[in-house]
Amino acid sequence: MARSLVIKVTAGADAPERCNQAFTVAAAALASGVPVSLWLTGEASWFALPGRAKEFSLPHAAQLGDLLDAVLAGGRVTLCTQCAARRDLTADDLIDGVRIAGASTFVEEVLAEGVQALVY
């Protein structure tokens, strides 16, 4: 059975290197044919909004907006339910293709057979 990745990114502009690493790993895995589910939590929640990833900049790193576009095109992107609520975000606010789901969905994904979970 092929393995898949569930990547939870908790960092945003507050920890730019850690944030960019999560998106880079997600996009690289997809480019290698690995199924990816990327979860946006904490400060990374803001990247579920249109334009926010394009505003992010980190020297010598791939543009976050391009990485997010790649994940949206080939994988799944989820915004944490509680994180969305704490930021007054609804499904109508989000980039097309980003869903809102909670802890039970995250647990279901990470406990599936053949899944590797990473947290940044």
Give domain limits for the chain.
4-119
Contact yes or no for 35/2 (Cβ under 8 A): yes
- Sole residue written with tokens 């606010």: 93
In terms of CATH architecture, what is 4-119?
3-Layer(aba) Sandwich (3.40)
**pTM of the predicted structure, to 2 decimals:** 0.96
| pLDDT score at 1 | 52
| pLDDT score at 68 | 98
Name residues of the chain where pLDDT drops below 50.
none
Two tokens at 120?
A: 């940044």
Contact yes or no for 68/34 (Cβ under 8 A): no
| pLDDT score at 48 | 98
| pLDDT score at 36 | 98
How many whole angstroms separate alpha carbon 109 and alpha carbon 62? 27
How many whole angstroms separate alpha carbon 62 and alpha carbon 77? 18
Contact yes or no for 34/76 (Cβ under 8 A): no
